[in-house]
Amino acid sequence: MTAHSTKKHGSLLVKDARTQRRNNAELRFRAYGLTAVIVGILALIVLLVSIFSNGISAFQQTKLMITLELPEAKLDQKGQRDLDVMKKVTTIGYSKVLGNGLIDQLDRLGIATDLKDKDVREILSKESAATLRDVVLADPSLIGTTVTMEFLVNGRIDGYFKGRVDRASAELDKNVKPGQLDIADALTEHGLMYTQFNLDFILAPDASDQRPEAAGLGVAILGSIYMMLVVLFVALPVGVAASIYLEEFAPKNRLTDVIEVNISNLAAVPSIVYGILGLAIFINMAQFNQSSPLVGGLVLTLMTLPRIIIPARAALKSVPPSIRDAALGVGASRMQTVFHHVLPLAAPGILTGVIIGLGQALGETAPLLLIGMVAFVREYPAAFTADAGLFGEASTALPVQVFNWTQRADPAFVERASGAIIVLLVFLLIMNALAIFLRRRYERRW
């Protein structure tokens, strides 16, 4: 009897040591993968909780209702209601009128305070005087009458109602006094000071360092929209055309191999490099207006092109060769085959890549900082003109606005920055949801 015939064979129903080790290794690998997923989810939850806990209050704003007189002696001494003359009264003059109106209102309500008149006036935002001035200049007939209007309170009082400021911190803060918090509580009891939804945070332009309560995202959102339009109308046709040529018409030789390798490499280049390229080409060489949405859009186009070409080529490649063969077999030209049969079938994948590319471009900050899109824009620009809007000299964007606000000292701007991140995340979520919808709605399976 040979040695081979005497060798014992294990049963298939009994796990030997080798099988047990292999099964244990598989279980460990699954445990590692599950742990990685859980850690990633927890990190995402911590990030979202941090952003929302700090930023959701930016969508609320504290305001004060004041009934005050608009004295003709201070706002229009000549009484002619001439706008050119009335505009000579600065916000300082309106600030005194507004402050006196607040002090008179406290006296009418019987709210006593030991604060100086100057400290009482500081309860209101510095933006309030400009608001009152704009209202009076828009309707000069209000002068000489008594009006009731709501005004922004300063950032510290607003922070008190949001839990960011308390009496202990007020004792150490030179920008707010405990007596001002007492007045705020008394006005709240009378229903004159309240916190409500802050639509101006989304629609209003930015404000100075001294007026965080008046800062908004309106101009930044408009600048981002302008840039996304440039990216869409430049990157989409160029990227899709390049994809069609490389995938359907380009000969397979060393030159096209070099082009394909470089496209793949460009997709991995840090975004700040595109900012340097845009600074050199569009600003230094082409002499475009610095900080304009056109330059920002072109820089983001350069960055987005490889990220559109690669998924577009993958979508074209996923169309079965039988589609091409059938079209060519019935007499269609190469061009007709591509544009009448292949491209419509690849369109969902191409659109998905375009939308994801736009979403990535929307959140980029570094290239925009390099081309100077950090301007403080106080007013909405005009539409498409030579010196404003799309081609203007000064603009900003959502991610740059977040960066700017985080550099300011007032804690209220940190709240504003977190709120802006929420708005940016909403835009990105909408764009990614649209990409998923298009892919699932029009995707073909073979």
* pLDDT at residue 28, as a whole number: 92
150 strand-pairing partners = 65
- pLDDT 10s digits, 46-69: 988 988 888 898 899 999 999 888
- DSSP assignment of 137-152, as one string? HH-GGGTTSEEEEEEE
The reported pLDDT for the residue numbered 385 is 47
Please state, in angstroms and rounded to a whole number, the distance separating the CA atoms of residues 272 and 259: 22
Token pair belonging to 432? 């990614």
What pLDDT sits at residue 384? 46
pLDDT at 36: 95
The residues that bridge with 124 in the sheet, in sequence order, are: 153
Amino acid at 414: V
Residue 171 dihedral angles phi and psi, to the nearest 5°: -65, -25
Q: What is the pLDDT along the chain (446 residues), one digit of tens a residue?
A: 455 555 555 566 677 788 888 888 899 999 999 999 999 999 999 988 988 888 898 899 999 999 888 888 888 777 777 788 888 888 888 888 898 889 989 999 888 888 888 888 889 988 888 888 888 888 888 888 888 899 999 888 888 898 888 888 888 888 888 888 989 999 999 899 999 998 989 988 888 888 888 888 888 888 888 888 888 899 889 999 999 998 888 888 888 888 888 888 888 888 888 888 888 888 888 877 777 888 888 889 988 899 889 989 888 888 888 888 888 888 888 888 888 888 888 888 888 888 888 888 888 888 888 887 776 777 776 654 445 556 666 778 888 888 888 888 888 888 999 999 999 989 888 888 888 887 777 766 65
What is the C-alpha radius of gyration for the chain, rounded to an integer number of angstroms?
Answer: 32
Predicted TM-score (pTM) of the model is: 0.83
| pLDDT at residue 408, as a whole number | 85
Q: State residue 37's pLDDT score.
A: 95
413 contacts: CB under 8 Å, gap ≥ 6: 212, 215, 405, 406
Q: What is the spatial distance between Cα 27 and Cα 33, in angstroms, rounded to a whole number? A: 10
Kindly report the CA angle at 422 between 194 and 273, in degrees rounded to 5?
A: 140
d(CA 368, CA 300): 8
* Residue 139 to residue 158: CA distance in whole angstroms: 29
| Alpha carbon distance 223, 205 (integer Å) | 11
